[in-house]
Amino acid sequence: MPDAPWRVGQQVCVEVPASSANLGPGFDSVGIALDIRDRCTVTITDAPGVEVVVAGEGADGVPLDESHLVVRSMLRAWDLLDVAPPVGMRVECRNAVPHGRGLGSSATAIVTGIGAANALWRLAISGSADIEPHFVNDLAAQLEGHPDNSSASVWGGATLSWLDDRSDPNEEVSLPHTTTLALSPHPDIRPLVFLPQVQLSTATARSVLPAYVRLGDAAANSARVGVLVHALTRDPSYLRAGTRDYLHQEPRRPSYAASMALVDALRGAGIAATISGAGPSVLALAVGEQGERAAADAPAGWQVLDPGFAQTGIRLVD
């Protein structure tokens, strides 16, 4: 593994938006970027090892060494690029994305690490920092295990993503390619997030999902994904129909009963509402005066976020 021309003082700063995934039927494939951004500054130092400093969301609950998810993602990116990491670096994270609430905090950290590693490497070899989004998208989907959250954080707006099929299941591929269609959300749609005080890990939420689904449910879900994309980009009047899920929300209901009760109440009022990612937050895609009505339905103790769509994904900042 060759050494990169690292120099003490080289620095990049990246911002990455939160995401909400699935949007009902788009399980592991559809996501939207929300304008809540984590910021991370990485500096090459002459002190051996990695110094991690975290402020904001999750500051008291994340590791401050090489096991930090941002750092692990950076090291994986450099390994894939066949580049030896720098001897020392300082990683400063300022987190705004809530942890364990279904807003893609893990994907945000992964995209942050890969993007920072990519930008630092380009800075080292060319003198100009830059991020290659396709590289970030592919590796982030691999590390996350599914591309919905990570692709939204890479590209911004709304995304529809899938991992390309392999012609030979025994073929070894170092980095499976992720295809992402970047979608432009309709300007009349206002995403609102209902944030409970409790957390729920993605692993726990996925552990209760059934191994098999009924053919009829799979067919119905396929139709609703098509409606979802149409409603999200062209005709928001179909949003409630397009956010009907047949695969994952009902099996998870006992894991976030209060969240599903809110989803039921909002949908009963005619507002498109789903579980955000793995939960327990609830996403409402409001149109017009629905925004005020949806916010008024927030249960006691829940916080309502009105972030808007993040029109851009990962970006370098000064």
What is the tens place of the pLDDT at every residue in 52-98? 999 999 999 999 999 999 999 999 999 999 999 999 999 999 999 99
Residue 187 has pLDDT above 60, yes or no: yes
Within this chain, domains 11-161+310-316 and 185-305 share the same CATH topology: no
Residue 292 has pLDDT above 70, yes or no: yes
Residue 185, annotated as binding a ligand: no
Residue 233 has pLDDT above 80, yes or no: yes
What is the spatial distance between Cα 45 and Cα 9, in angstroms, rounded to a whole number?
Answer: 6
Average pLDDT over residues 37-51: 97
Residue 101, CA atoms < 13 Å, CB-side half-sphere: 23
CATH class as words, domain 185-305: alpha beta
Residue 279, annotated as binding a ligand: no
Residue 2 has pLDDT above 70, yes or no: no
Q: How far apart are the first and last CA of the chain?
A: 31
Give the pLDDT score at 172. Answer: 53
Residue 200, annotated as binding a ligand: no
Two tokens at 140?
Answer: 């982030």
Give the pLDDT score at 175. Answer: 65
What is the spatial distance between Cα 119 and Cα 103, in angstroms, rounded to a whole number?
Answer: 25
What is the spatial distance between Cα 243 and Cα 239, in angstroms, rounded to a whole number?
Answer: 6
Residue 105, annotated as binding a ligand: yes
Residue 101, annotated as binding a ligand: yes
Residue 98, annotated as binding a ligand: yes
CATH class as words, domain 11-161+310-316: alpha beta
Query: pTM higher than 0.85, yes or no?
Result: yes
Average pLDDT over residues 261-288: 96
Give the pLDDT score at 200. Answer: 78
Average pLDDT over residues 149-178: 80
Residue (of 17, 9, 12) closest to 74 by Cα position? 12
**What percentage of residues in the chain have a pLDDT greater than 90?**
86
Residue 104, annotated as binding a ligand: yes
Give the pLDDT score at 248. Answer: 94
CA distances from 258 to 20, 246, 281, 283, 286 (A): 18, 19, 10, 14, 20
Residue 312, annotated as binding a ligand: no
Give the pLDDT score at 20. Answer: 98
Residue 178, annotated as binding a ligand: no
Give the pLDDT score at 163. Answer: 86
pLDDT band at 188 (very low <50, low <70, confident <90, very high): very high
Residue 294, annotated as binding a ligand: no
Sequence ranges of the domains in the chain: 11-161+310-316, 185-305
Average pLDDT over the chain reads 93
Residue 252 has pLDDT above 70, yes or no: yes
Q: Which helix (H) or strand (E) holds 205?
A: helix 202-207
Residue 106, annotated as binding a ligand: yes
Q: Lowest mean pLDDT: which of 31-45, 84-98, 203-217, 280-294? A: 203-217
Residue 303 has pLDDT above 70, yes or no: yes
Give the pLDDT score at 177. Answer: 87
